[in-house]
Amino acid sequence: MSGGWTRVCTTAELLPGEMQVAFDEATGVQIVVFNLDGDLYAYEDRCSHEDFELSVGHFDAASGEIECVLHGARFDVQDGRALCAPAHEPVIKFPVRIEDGQVYVRDDRDD
């Protein structure tokens, strides 16, 4: 796939309640993709409070939240908004695309 899209995994490798990480080689950004009840959401793999990987945190599929292990900030997986201090800003959201059973993401901030 062209147009700056980065392959993450197959849809069979990202089941509900799971997350996968991909590295966008064009922009040098690490992206985390969440499967929340069959819907996919992608974000920069970085807590908005402090530069720390969200993907090492706890993804609670029941509540739809990811918690940063560094200071306990939580984010809504559906829209990226911060749910509690110390984070106040949302995490950066990216588009997700599924084509032929493959999951793709793209850092579209320069579009």
**pTM across the whole model:** 0.94
What's the confidence (pLDDT) of residue 27? 87
What's the average model confidence in pLDDT over 25-46? 95
What's the confidence (pLDDT) of residue 4? 86
Task: From residue 81, give the alpha-carbon distance in Å to each of 6, 21, 59.
Answer: 24, 19, 15
pLDDT at 2 over 70: no
What's the confidence (pLDDT) of residue 111? 55
Which of 66, 97, 98, 96 lies closest to 82, judged by CA?
66
pLDDT in tens, 49-101: 999 999 999 999 999 999 999 999 999 999 999 999 999 999 999 999 999 99
